[in-house]
C-alpha cells in the first residue's frame, strides 16, 4: 500500500503531489487524472507512480486527496464508491484529504455511504504557493480524524509550506484569506506596476520593483506583531508622496473595496461546494 494518492493532476494536484514527492519517497506517491497523458507526464516529472483509474488510486493508497473541481466531486466519488466498499470489507481504513472549496466533511460520508469508524476525513484548504514550498494550508479542527493522522498528513505535505488549524466556525474566514490572496495580490501588484509604467518605467522593471516592494514589506510585517497601520504611519511623512497616495486610495474606497471583496468571497465559498 502506497502512502498517498492524488486524484486529479491540475493546478492543486500538481502543486501538492510535487510537495509530497519532496517530503517522502516518490515511490510512495500515486497520481492519476481523467486525462491520462497529464498524469503520466506528472508522474514522470516527479518520479512517482502513475495509475490509470481512480479506483486503482483509492485501492492503492492510505491517504487519498481528491484534487478535482467541487462540481465534479460527486461524480468522482460515485465512481469510486465500490472501491471504498471493497477496502472497508478488507478492514482497510482510508483517510480522505478534502481540498474542495465549500465541501463539508459530511458530504464524503453521505456520498460514499461510510461511517466515521470506516473512514477518516481531514478537510483542508491549501493555496497555489504550495508548488514552491511557500504555501499555507488551513486545517479544519474536527473529530473525523485522529491526531496521529493529522501529524502524518502534515509530515507528508510538510514541503508545501505552513499549516494553521482552525475551529469549524472560523475555517472559512481563514481559508478566504490564504486562498484568495494570490489573486488579489496579483491584481494589486500589476496595478502598482501599471502606475509605474504610467510614470515612465519599463514594464519588466515595473513588475520586478512592484513585487520586490511587496515582498520587502511582507517580510518586515511578518518579522514582528506591530499593528499594520503603524507601518503606514512610518512611511507617511507630512505632505509627502505616500500620504498623497493614501488620500487618493481613501477617496476611491480602497479599504471598503478590499473588505467587500473578502466578504463576498466568504459568502460564495460556502455555496459552490453544495453537492446535489
Ligand X SMILES: NC(=O)c1ccc[n+]([C@@H]2O[C@H](COP(=O)([O-])OP(=O)(O)OC[C@H]3O[C@@H](n4cnc5c(N)ncnc54)[C@H](OP(=O)(O)O)[C@@H]3O)[C@@H](O)[C@H]2O)c1
Nearest to 31 by CA among 11, 52, 12: 52
Applying CB under 6 A, does 174 fall inside the site for ligand X?
no
**How far is it, in rounded angstroms, from Cα 25 to Cα 27?**
5
DSSP string, 235-260: H--TT-HHHHHHHHHHHTTHHHHHHH
With respect to ligand X, which residue has the nearer C-beta, 69 or 158? 69
Least separation, in Å, of the C-beta of 250 and ligand X? 31
Applying CB under 6 A, does 181 fall inside the site for ligand X?
no
Least separation, in Å, of the C-beta of 237 and ligand X? 39
DSSP 113: T
Q: Which range of residues in 95-103, 144-152, 242-250, 255-263 is near ligand X by CB under 6 A?
A: 95-103
From 24, 30, 33, 63, residue interacting with ligand X (rule: CB under 6 A): 33
| Alpha-helix runs per DSSP H in the chain | 11-23, 36-46, 54-60, 70-89, 105-112, 147-156, 168-198, 203-222, 228-235, 241-251, 254-272
Binding to ligand X (CB under 6 A): which residues in 99-118? 99-101
Determine how β-strand 119-125 pairs with β-strand 135-140: antiparallel
DSSP 130: G
Please name the residue that has the C-alpha cell 459530511.
106
Nearest to 137 by CA among 146, 128, 148: 128
From 5, 20, 29, 67, residue interacting with ligand X (rule: CB under 6 A): 67
Binding to ligand X (CB under 6 A): which residues in 240-259? none
Length of the chain as a residue count? 276
**How far is it, in rounded angstroms, from Cα 97 to Cα 242?**
45
Applying CB under 6 A, does 161 fall inside the site for ligand X?
no
Applying CB under 6 A, does 172 fall inside the site for ligand X?
no
From 5, 7, 61, 87, residue interacting with ligand X (rule: CB under 6 A): 7
Least separation, in Å, of the C-beta of 67 and ligand X? 5
Intra-chain end-to-end CA distance of the chain, in Å: 33
Q: Which range of residues in 88-96, 122-130, 150-158, 198-206 is near ligand X by CB under 6 A?
A: 122-130
With respect to ligand X, which residue has the nearer C-beta, 7 or 206? 7
Least separation, in Å, of the C-beta of 140 and ligand X? 13
Applying CB under 6 A, does 126 fall inside the site for ligand X?
yes
From 54, 107, 120, 172, residue interacting with ligand X (rule: CB under 6 A): 54
Binding site for ligand X (CB under 6 A): 7-13, 33-35, 38, 54, 67-70, 72, 76, 99-101, 125-128, 179
Amino acid at each position: 500500500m502506497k502512502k498517498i494518492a492524488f486524484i486529479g493532476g491540475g493546478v492543486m494536484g500538481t502543486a501538492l503531489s510535487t510537495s509530497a514527492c519532496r517530503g517522502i519517497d516518490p515511490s510512495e506517491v500515486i497520481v492519476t487524472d481523467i486525462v491520462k497523458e497529464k498524469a503520466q507526464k506528472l508522474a514522470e516529472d516527479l518520479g512517482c507512480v502513475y495509475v490509470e483509474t481512480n479506483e486503482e488510486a483509492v485501492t492503492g493508497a492510505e491517504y487519498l486527496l481528491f484534487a478535482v473541481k467541487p462540481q465534479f466531486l460527486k461524480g468522482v466519488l460515485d465512481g469510486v464508491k465500490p472501491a471504498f466498499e471493497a477496502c472497508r470489507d478488507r478492514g482497510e481504513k482510508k483517510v480522505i484529504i478534502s481540498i474542495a472549496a465549500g465541501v463539508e466533511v459530511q458530504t464524503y460520508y453521505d456520498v460514499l455511504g461510510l461511517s466515521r469508524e470506516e473512514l477518516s476525513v481531514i478537510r483542508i484548504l491549501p493555496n497555489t504557493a504550495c508548488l514552491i514550498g511557500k504555501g499555507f494550508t488551513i486545517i479544519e479542527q474536527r473529530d473525523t480524524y485522529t491526531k496521529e493522522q493529522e501529524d502524518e498528513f502534515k509530515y507528508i505535505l510538510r514541503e508545501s509550506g505552513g499549516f494553521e488549524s482552525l475551529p469549524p466556525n472560523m475555517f472559512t474566514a481563514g481559508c478566504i484569506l490564504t486562498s484568495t490572496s494570490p489573486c488579489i495580490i496579483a491584481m494589486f501588484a500589476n496595478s502598482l506596476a501599471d502606475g509605474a509604467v504610467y510614470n515612465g518605467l519599463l514594464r519588466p522593471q515595473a513588475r520586478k520593483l512592484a513585487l520586490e516592494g511587496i515582498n520587502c514589506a511582507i517580510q518586515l510585517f511578518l518579522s514582528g506583531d506591530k499593528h499594520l497601520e503603524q507601518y503606514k504611519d512610518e512611511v507617511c511623512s507630512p505632505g509627502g508622496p505616500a500620504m498623497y497616495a493614501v488620500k487618493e486610495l481613501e477617496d476611491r474606497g480602497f479599504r471598503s473595496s478590499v473588505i467587500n471583496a473578502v466578504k463576498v468571497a466568504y459568502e460564495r465559498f460556502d455555496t459552490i461546494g453544495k453537492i446535489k
